[in-house]
Structure 1
Amino acid sequence: MLIAQITDVHLGFDPDNPGELNRQRLDQVLNVLCQGPNRPDLLLATGDLADKGDPESYRQLKEALGICPFPVWPCLGNHDDRTNFLQQFPEIPTADGFAQYEVDLGPLRLIVLDTLEEGRHGGAFCDTRARWLTERLDEQVEKPVILVMHHPPFEAGIQWMDIHPEEPWVRRVASALAGRGQVRAVLCGHLHRPMVTQWSGTTLAVCPSTAPQLALDLRPIDPDAPDGRAMIVADPPGFAFHWWNGRDLVTHFETADNHVTLAKFDARMQPLVRGLFSERR
């Protein structure tokens, strides 16, 4: 099973521009997913779908996603507006008023969380949402689970985007996952860069954004002393593939730029391929 992930689309950042850069970058990624060699079985869209949470941006998002010949399962980020999103995507399930739900994929379960607290940049996960997650995890303890949410619950080292690892919402998610061996991975967005870490006994992967990326600068930052460092960079639009091979979830990060081919599978490369396959037997 091949699961694609996009995140941090930020449609409507330049609302009066019919050729908005963020829409172009989104379309570029979707074209790769739909027309490329690795067409996924489904697509996760992990939050900050609209930059200002306005209805028009969600209308454009629905239009853009309409080319996808596979299901799309979204979640909400801090730039999103829950009411406006659900008006445009009424088919997305809710629980206790939050846009969180589960999807049965046969060999896997997706559990999609809502970590939005409107007006707050960082994540949120209240007792109500935590209780719902605990109940879902209690229902099936053997079937592998992939947890999906916008906000990564760990310190990444980019201080101006970091959270405190002991924030209450982080503790609630960690408590729900404690001892849950069926949770094979947590998939997030928000940080506009590819990252992988271990968290709460499982693997956590952060998808790069379709919108421009964060600059990689791990130096301490002083909020009261602007130092001219790069913060946002025009790196290519990114996305992720998560391949479930029946045992493990393997994550690949990719960009939607054109790739220069230096070798292809032809008669010259055939002996190498044959040799590699022979070693597997």
Structure 2
Amino acid sequence: MTVTRRNLLRGAGSLVVGGAVALTVTTPVPSRSAVARVVAGHRRAGEPVDRGRVTWGQDDQRQTGWLFVPDPAAWSGGSLTPTYPVAVVIHGGSWSDTSDPSYMADIAIDLARYGLAVWVPTYRGLQGPGGWPETFQDVSDAVDYVPQLADLGRFTPDLEQVHLLGHSAGGHLATWAATRNKLPSGAPGADPGINARSVTSMAGLYDLALAEELDGGNLVRDLMGGVTPQEDPQRYDWASPADRLPLEIPVNALHGSADEVIPLEAVQGFLDDLEATGNPGMVEVLPGIGHDDWSDVLGEPWAQARMAFLDCVGNR
């Protein structure tokens, strides 16, 4: 299939500054599902606690993350170290070193209201010290850092209930991270310390060899260290979650039909393969939804993604 869309990943997340998304709406009107008190059997309660910024690696500018925990009054059950499932939220922004995870903060806080600890790590990216393999290794290490969040967060992470969520380039990285147990020894991210129980991707990208051939594919080539799929097919195979289906865990892949940053044609093959292989999870294309619509916590796209995500988390 030949797809020519000039906006492939270009500017993904770039409208985000300081946690706000540049939208043309004025006062949002929340849908009934956006403010649901119970979603997929999970109740909504309390005001989450921001435990602050955590440095998980040696680079205190890039290898950091935010940690949000549920309201202890609503969720601790009186325990000083309550056990919570964990959501690892991977931000987008074209894999750029200047991308900012703050636009995912509202989503993180929303998930914490349903009784999850939420970890929002950053990573080294393009136009900086990232790319191949650094960006991938950072995401892998940030997921494996979850057990060490216990002391700072004053909770016990349920390591059997670690679930991944990502948007745009973060959707690619979260889905890739969910496949690490299928990578050969020696590949970046192989031999994971934490195996995810599910992954939910909003407007993600999954087949980097296909994406490299599209208009805007130079960004993918930069991510892969400047090489093409023909020059290093193994590298592209290791970096593309599309090459490791089916998985034994749910994969929720949600995309908008009006996405002009990552057009539907660029991911349709992956969506078809999820269904063809019988991979558990949800595949959904939302009509009229664009690339940045997912980060509006009062919007229907996030309500659908949240439902798919929480449906994979064990009820409490």
TM-score, reference length from structure 1: 0.38
More helix by share: 2
Give the structure, 1 or 2, with the largest relative contact order (CA under 8 Å, sep 6 or more).
Answer: 2
Q: Whose Rg is larger?
A: 1
